[in-house]
Amino acid sequence: MSGEFQKVAEREGESGAGPVVYVVATPIGNLDDMTPRARHVLANVDVIAAEDTRETRKLLNHFGIQGKRLLSYHDFGETERAEQLVRETYERGASLALVSDAGTPCISDPGYRLVAAAKARGIKVHPIPGPSALTALASAAGLPSDRLLFIGFPPTKPQALRTEIASWAAARASVVFFESTRRLERTLMAVREIYPEARVAIGRELTKLYEEIETVSVADALAWLATHPTLKGEASVMVAPGATETQVALATGEERLSPDELMQRASRAFKSGATLKELLQKYRDVGLKRTELYDLLLRAKDL
């Protein structure tokens, strides 16, 4: 470790002193993506809370980190386990690192309850950033990434899935999610039904030797899947819906209104006690620029 890095680590309290919690990102496939800071933290903390202690032990062994106290922390009984770990960390003045099987904890992986419990106790929580399938795909997909909506794993029931997908229109963002390869075709068929012009990026084996990132139309994505019938595991998916104004209206429950109709509705709403702020929010998706909507509502208020 360089002298400068040692100084930074000590200044940030990464020498093991607690009580403190570190949220540590670990590789999603390529072990060279493990950062020096992450290795330092894992080597020096008192306890490591791991989604799967067996996988984490393999990682530690690879980097020559021995003798660490590993405790399981996963989805089952997460709330109770989080309280227990945080209580012990606080009472013992310990340092604890939170890791998942791969990637960044709390990003569609266990962790947020532990972080919330630690903050409620007044324990410092430090992110140790690094690999994440979410950012890996978004950076290399070639789809708009100035606005992103991450939804974890989409619903499995058909109607809930369709409702979720329809809601993307209101977000006006590219959507990133994780999906089982067994359900991916069904999910993309629902995307095509609602957004036939959507562009899709499918990421598999990210950062690994056989990494694939396929960015195509949603129709071509389904055709690509048809040629890969033996896919296993999970895929990372990014969708640029290309929502039309009509789709936005359907998703927000607000139909298209002419300026005169909008003024009449807004006038009645003002007389019923609505505020300008409330109406700006309610009619934000009617197809007018914000300045145009503001001027129209001011006129409606005087009717």
**pLDDT, tens digit, 9 for 90 and up, residues 71-80:** 999 878 888 9
pLDDT of the residue at 8: 40
At 110, list the tokens: 């266990």
- Rounded Cα–Cα distance for residues 67 and 250 (Å): 57
Backbone angles phi, psi at 125, to 5 degrees: -125, 120
**Are residues 60 and 116 located together in one domain of the fold?**
yes
Each residue of 20-62: pLDDT tens digit?
999 999 999 999 999 999 999 999 999 999 999 999 999 999 9
pLDDT of the residue at 17: 67
**Are residues 8 and 127 located together in one domain of the fold?**
yes
**Are residues 268 and 222 located together in one domain of the fold?**
no
**Which of 225, 246, 267 delimits the end of a domain?**
246
pLDDT of the residue at 50: 95
**Are residues 116 and 140 located together in one domain of the fold?**
no
**Which of 246, 264, 287 delimits the end of a domain?**
246
pLDDT of the residue at 245: 47
- Count of domains forming the chain: 3
- State mean pLDDT over 87-115: 95
> Cα(first)–Cα(last) distance of the chain, in Å?
72
CATH code (residue 48): 3.40.1010.10
pLDDT of the residue at 13: 52
**Are residues 206 and 261 located together in one domain of the fold?**
no
Backbone angles phi, psi at 234, to 5 degrees: -125, 155
3-state secondary structure of 47: strand
Domain that residue 292 falls in: 254-301
**Are residues 126 and 9 located together in one domain of the fold?**
yes
**Are residues 101 and 121 located together in one domain of the fold?**
yes
**Are residues 142 and 51 located together in one domain of the fold?**
no
**Are residues 141 and 99 located together in one domain of the fold?**
no
CATH code (residue 163): 3.30.950.10
216/246: higher pLDDT: 216
**Are residues 260 and 277 located together in one domain of the fold?**
yes
- Rounded Cα–Cα distance for residues 79 and 86 (Å): 11
**Are residues 193 and 233 located together in one domain of the fold?**
yes
Q: Does the structure show a pLDDT above 80 at 138?
A: yes
pLDDT of the residue at 74: 85
Q: What is the pTM of this model?
A: 0.75
Q: Does the structure show a pLDDT above 50 at 209?
A: yes
At 78, list the tokens: 């997460």
